[in-house]
Structure 1
Amino acid sequence: MVKLQKEPKLNSPYLVAAWPGMGNVALKAATYLREKLRAEEFGEIEADGFFHPVNASIQGNIIETPKFPKSKFYYWKDSKSLHDLVIFLGEAQPSLEKEYEFACEILDLAGKFGVERVYTFAAMPSVMEHTNEPKVWGVVTHPSLAKDLIDYGVSLMNEGQISGMNGLLLAVAKEKGFQGICLLGELPYYTIQIENPKSSKAVLEILCKMIGMEVDTSELDYQAKRIEGGIEKFVDYFKLQGMHEPKKPISDEEIEKIKEGLNAHTRIPDSAKEKIQKLFQEAKKDISRARELKAELDKWDIYRQYEDKFLDLFKKGHH
């Protein structure tokens, strides 16, 4: 069920919808767009019936009550644009048997607000190097939209599947009479579990060109450069597997820490990163601050990444 906080008057809006997926290409691009546009929240889909908890979270030795992912709608109005935007961000994919119904909920709201076209993003694993610029592929619900993609340098995907809600939403959109386009950003097969800002930037830039709007994507460039060093370690590791006398390989534990660190870097807001660094500095002078620091690391599920640094606070005897 959709719960609305307000009902904004929108001008011929387009819908941009995204969920987590490979490389987090889709959700990263849409979330970045929302943040840069400062789009305002106006509704959400209530989680009841669409999500089923499959584990228990533990904090301070105590099991917490189930927490359901958020599925929120945002809107953005621009007097210079012919089309306002509705942005839908899903923190998680709904249960498999509920995906079709979930898509219908989104599109029913889209119809209510006069949405003319639906955009989604996705990832396309490819035989490519992570240092290369990713190509953008596209699929459309109607043949007349294909030329638009070609005009912007997008390669057409002739066959295949787009798994999850990032693909299914467009299929249901076509069924309900909406135009729809999915933009897929290339990423290397060996990085599908690592957030890929470079691919997110590629699909976002195409979307902005198609809509006729400008968004500063320099922060995505910065994030991409920051994680490239970590990816290089993976590349070196895999290359060493084919050598007769390999150097000492990266341990499984190191691989997990690198993966978690790379994911965390692009997932955590800058404000949270700054707070964590500040707490580390404060804990060096006052060890009682370590409790708050540990709580912040647990909150973002990145304690493992900082574990050694955290334990060093006690080894060095900062009191």
Structure 2
Amino acid sequence: MEKRKILCFLFVLFLFRSPLEGGELVQTLQEVLPGDPLPFRLYTDPSVRYVEVFLWREEDRNTLLAEGKAFRVPDEGGPGGGAPGEGGEGLSGATLEDTSTLWVGLLGIPSVAPAGLYRLEIRMGERSLVFPVSVLGRQFIHEEIALNREMSKLRTEEDARKIAEMREILERVSVFNPQSMYHPKPFRLPVEGFRRTSQFGDRRKYRYADGGAEQAIHTGIDFATPRGTPVHLAASGQVAFAGPRILTGNTVVVEHLPGVYSLYYHLDRIEVKEGDRLHEGERIGTTGATGLVTGPHLHWEVRVGGIPVNPDAFLRAGPLDKFFQLRETAVTSKEGR
């Protein structure tokens, strides 16, 4: 049985010379599973204008596992108060005032991340904070998928357009816009009551019609549905892409928070267009069997900083809700620097 995702929180108080009493306050996880997002909250000096975050392998300090940015949000209640966006419809249009001292960040941990000890480095201009983070071991499902001649050709054939489409989507989901705060709450499933046929992170072996085979990693969750089943938006956001692609068929990509996107593949119909601002639960299309498929279904995935992460993590809690507040105090320490 998979270990509980929220294992404990890390409370660390560093003493800097800043207007905040006691200095910086950082809240993050001590342990994370491969494929899950690693969150942190930082309360810091109002003069800080830019926050970057890096996750380094402890045994090899030159090996970078993940990197990202934090976004600044209005502080409603301070370190012990409620999280921004609680009880509301999100932070769309929120004013990022100069007096704000709260930063929130998410790192996408690749599903192939080796288990071990890592260093989480939070950079604020010329100074940094460093915390230990353990990436735990995780077992993924192994599956084999037989492709017919048509699907085998679709997957293996070299095609300049296919490569261009892959690059375009990666560029779209790697955009980090600090103003894009549409949905801080938990996500919802895009289709309800349908069986999952593939899980996030499944290790796949594709069997081709000519007898060849190739390994791949599944980047989302598949739901088996009849063709034409309505697909509803998992969270409020803005459409970053809507159109046909060779491998993923009719595709919709939606931005929800800075660097956080959901993707919907193999649609029969697309009912939104790029630039649309939509609310959670709005219909965006219908399920189908377009692109590389063996039957009608919806492929749903979530990306953080361009990295595919487990969508279930966003069903359990929203990026700005109490999931990021201290529920357990694992470590308390004071250090002068």
| TM-score bracket, shorter-length normalisation | under 0.3
What TM-score, normalized to structure 1?
Answer: 0.20
Greater strand share, structure number: 2
What TM-score, normalized to structure 2?
Answer: 0.20
Greater helix share, structure number: 1
